[in-house]
């Protein structure tokens, strides 16, 4: 049994392991090539997060989904590069919006070079992804455009907040489906589609990716509260400090507003509603959430979405790639454990 990648994905077949590792190595080369510019400073800023590493979760999904067709098809690796470039671009923009100082264990681009450079570097990565997409055909361009629209819509809806009368938790889960689920779904879709898999298989893997992506982001929500910066590679409680209500906070608010809400629930909500740019208040809020049942409820939500993703795979024939995708469901849950 061999472990591939930071997720601890277990691959029990040498041929599958070799395919996945070779594919990911090719993606890494493709990322470095796609982020080169004639302007050395642009190369430096564009490769900043590429060289910082990362889980390469989306390219891994492309490689595994491609196993349901011909994994050596010429469009597989470029499509994985497109998905990862798009993801990296959103990270540059997210860090500006969140005023984050750390990303993947290194200084964020905005902390190092300022917001303008970070935003423009993200735009540069989008442009390079589009250039590669053009060679993959109009269908690939359309799929990526639709996913990008959903991603941006999710971000806008998060900023705008739920409309009057809408359950904030339902709203938030819709936001995550757009912000994260859409691109993870495309990773699975591209891998299957570019490999020539049957249309029914492409559809199943796309739906799997959507649910897994939501579970992945929910796990990140839990990590943002529960982990230290060494574990997560970014500053704990970043969303908390910025007043962005992630699922643990929404679960806390729902408890506080319910008939069974306690004075302690309401006091913690009051603290979270205050100014958390103050380090002492921020630390108190983090400690309060870490000890509150709302965090465990958010963990259970993560498990639920991961199990839904696993259930989507049921119609596929048993094979090593299917087992590996099921293993990713376990790995995502483990992150939130």
Q: What is the mean pLDDT of the chain?
A: 89
The half-sphere exposure of 238 on its side-chain side, counting CA atoms within 13 A, is 22
Q: Is residue 150 in a domain?
A: yes
Digit-coded pLDDT (tens) for 52-68: 878 899 999 999 999 99
Distance between CA atoms of 124 and 254, rounded to whole angstroms?
41
pLDDT of amino acid 10? 54
The length of the chain is 337
Query: Within the chain, where are the H helices?
Result: 14-34, 40-46, 48-51, 57-65, 76-98, 109-113, 115-134, 138-160, 168-176, 182-194, 199-226, 229-232, 238-241, 247-257, 263-273, 279-290, 293-312, 320-336
pLDDT of amino acid 234? 57
pLDDT of amino acid 2? 43
Phi, psi of 274 (to 5 degrees): -85, -165
Digit-coded pLDDT (tens) for 239-297: 888 778 899 999 999 999 999 889 999 999 999 988 888 889 999 999 999 999 999 99
Q: Is residue 245 in a domain?
A: no
pLDDT of amino acid 91? 86
The range of the structural domain enclosing residue 32 comes to 2-216+308-336
Q: Is residue 160 in a domain?
A: yes
Nearest CA-CA partner of 100 in 118, 82, 123, 84: 118
CA 331: distance to chain centroid? 14
pLDDT of amino acid 313? 98
Number of domains in the chain: 1
Q: Is residue 302 in a domain?
A: no
Q: Is residue 262 in a domain?
A: no
pLDDT of amino acid 302? 96
Q: Is residue 80 in a domain?
A: yes
Q: Is residue 222 in a domain?
A: no
pLDDT of amino acid 95? 74
Q: Is residue 332 in a domain?
A: yes
pLDDT of amino acid 65? 98
For every residue of 202-266, which 3-state class applies, written as one string?
HHHHHHHHHHHHHHHHHHHHHHHHHCCHHHHCCCCCHHHHCCCCCHHHHHHHHHHHCCCCCHHHH
The CATH code of the domain that includes 205 is 1.10.600.10
pLDDT < 70: residue spans in the chain? 1-12, 98-100, 105, 229-234, 336-337
């Amino acid at each position: 049994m061999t472990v591939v990648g930071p997720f601890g994905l277990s691959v029990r077949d040498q041929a599958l392991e070799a395919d996945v590792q070779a594919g990911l190595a090719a993606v890494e080369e493709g990322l470095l090539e796609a982020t080169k510019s004639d302007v050395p400073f642009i190369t430096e800023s564009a490769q900043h997060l590429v060289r910082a590493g990362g889980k390469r979760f989306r390219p891994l999904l492309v490689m595994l989904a491609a196993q349901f067709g011909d994994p050596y098809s010429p469009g597989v690796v470029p499509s994985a590069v497109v998905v990862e470039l798009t993801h990296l671009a959103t990270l540059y923009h997210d860090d500006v919006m969140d005023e984050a100082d750390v990303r993947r264990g290194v200084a964020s681009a905005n902390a190092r070079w300022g917001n303008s450079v970070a935003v423009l570097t993200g735009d540069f990565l989008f442009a390079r992804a589009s250039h590669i997409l053009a060679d993959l055909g109009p269908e690939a361009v359309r799929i990526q455009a639709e996913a990008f629209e959903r991603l941006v819509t999710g971000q806008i809806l998060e900023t705008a907040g739920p409309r009057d009368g809408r359950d904030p938790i339902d709203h938030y889960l819709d936001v995550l489906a757009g912000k994260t689920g859409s691109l993870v779904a495309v990773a699975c879709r591209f891998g299957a589609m570019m490999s020539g898999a049957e249309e029914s298989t492409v559809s199943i893997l796309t739906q799997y990716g959507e649910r897994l992506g939501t579970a992945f982001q929910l796990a990140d929500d839990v990590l943002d509260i529960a982990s230290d910066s060494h574990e997560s590679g970014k500053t704990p409680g970043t969303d908390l400090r910025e007043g962005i209500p992630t699922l643990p906070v929404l679960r806390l608010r729902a408890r506080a507003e319910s008939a069974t809400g306690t004075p302690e629930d309401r006091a913690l909500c009051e603290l979270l509603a205050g100014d958390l740019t103050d380090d002492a208040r921020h630390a108190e809020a983090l400690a309060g959430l870490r000890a509150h049942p709302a965090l465990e409820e958010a963990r259970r939500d993560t498990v639920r979405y991961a199990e839904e993703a696993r259930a989507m795979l049921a119609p596929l024939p048993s094979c090593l790639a299917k087992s590996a995708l099921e293993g990713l469901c376990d790995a995502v849950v483990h992150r939130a454990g």
